[in-house]
């Protein structure tokens, strides 16, 4: 991102300054964040301390990025660039492939350098992140990004695979019992 992390004001401080949360609420979210892999904004929303719209408003100021309208910007030509599991893992959706191998993407957190690096490596494209709400990205993924073989057998879906295997085993037992 263009903004230097050292000069950028922290999200929690900006939310307090805007009067959207109290310091105690920030502390509670930060304690929950320790040891987990959750973003602060996500936790604050889940704890009902702020709304998604309030978070987006502060993030646009913090990151100096506009909120993108996914429905208007999404190009069907890019729907196969990223597999569904990566879109879900990083809360991103590809929008449009521009000149010079630049891929514009919508992200919940454009400051997530790990996500940007992983997606650039996967796509071999230069990313141009834009800000979008979690709910808009989830809706766009559900409606626009097709399932692939890799999505079904990805380690991220191991719980689903375990549940499916259990269900199949139970069905086979039931069929066996019914046959006798």
| Close Cβ partners of 140 (under 8 Å, ≥ 6 residues apart) | 70, 71, 74, 93, 106
- Cβ atoms of 43 and 33 within 8 Å: the answer is yes
Checking if the pLDDT of 98 tops 70, the result is yes
Checking if the pLDDT of 12 tops 70, the result is yes
pLDDT, tens digit, 9 for 90 and up, residues 21-67:
999 999 999 998 887 777 888 899 999 999 999 999 999 998 888 89
Q: Which runs of E-coded beta strand occur in the chain? A: 92-97, 102-107, 126-131
pLDDT band at 177 (very low <50, low <70, confident <90, very high): confident
Structure tokens at 14: 């900006």
Domain coordinates in residue numbering, the chain: 11-63, 70-146, 148-180
- Cβ atoms of 123 and 92 within 8 Å: the answer is no
**Mean of pLDDT over the chain:** 86
CA 84 to chain centre: 11
Conformational region of residue 109, where left means phi above 0, alpha means psi within -120 to 50, and beta covers everything else: beta
Please return the burial class of 84, using the count of CB atoms within 10 Å of its CB with bins 0-12, 13-18 and 19+: buried
pLDDT, tens digit, 9 for 90 and up, residues 63-92:
888 899 998 899 989 989 999 989 999 999
pTM for the structure as a whole: 0.70
pLDDT value at position 21?
95
Class of domain 70-146 (CATH, top level) = alpha beta
According to DSSP, residue 36 is labeled S
- Cβ atoms of 90 and 115 within 8 Å: the answer is yes
- The DSSP bridge pattern shows strands 92-97 and 102-107 to be antiparallel
pLDDT value at position 93?
96
Checking if the pLDDT of 132 tops 70, the result is yes
């Amino acid at each position: 991102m263009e903004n230097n992390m050292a000069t950028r004001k922290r999200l929690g401080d900006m939310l307090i300054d805007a009067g959207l949360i109290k310091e105690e609420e920030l502390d509670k979210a930060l304690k929950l964040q320790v040891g987990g892999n959750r973003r602060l904004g996500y936790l604050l929303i889940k704890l009902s301390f702020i709304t998604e719209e309030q978070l987006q408003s502060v993030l646009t100021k913090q990151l100096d990025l506009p909120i993108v309208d996914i429905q208007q910007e999404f190009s069907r030509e890019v729907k196969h660039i990223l597999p569904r599991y990566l879109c879900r893992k990083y809360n991103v959706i590809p929008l449009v492939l521009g000149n010079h191998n630049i891929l514009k993407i919508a992200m919940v957190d454009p400051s997530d350098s790990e996500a940007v690096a992983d997606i650039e490596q996967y796509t071999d494209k230069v990313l141009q992140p834009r800000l979008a709400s979690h709910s808009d990205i989830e809706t766009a993924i559900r409606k626009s990004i097709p399932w692939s073989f890799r999505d079904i057998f990805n380690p991220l879906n191991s719980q689903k695979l375990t549940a499916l295997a259990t269900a199949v085993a139970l069905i086979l037992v039931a069929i066996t019992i019914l046959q006798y």
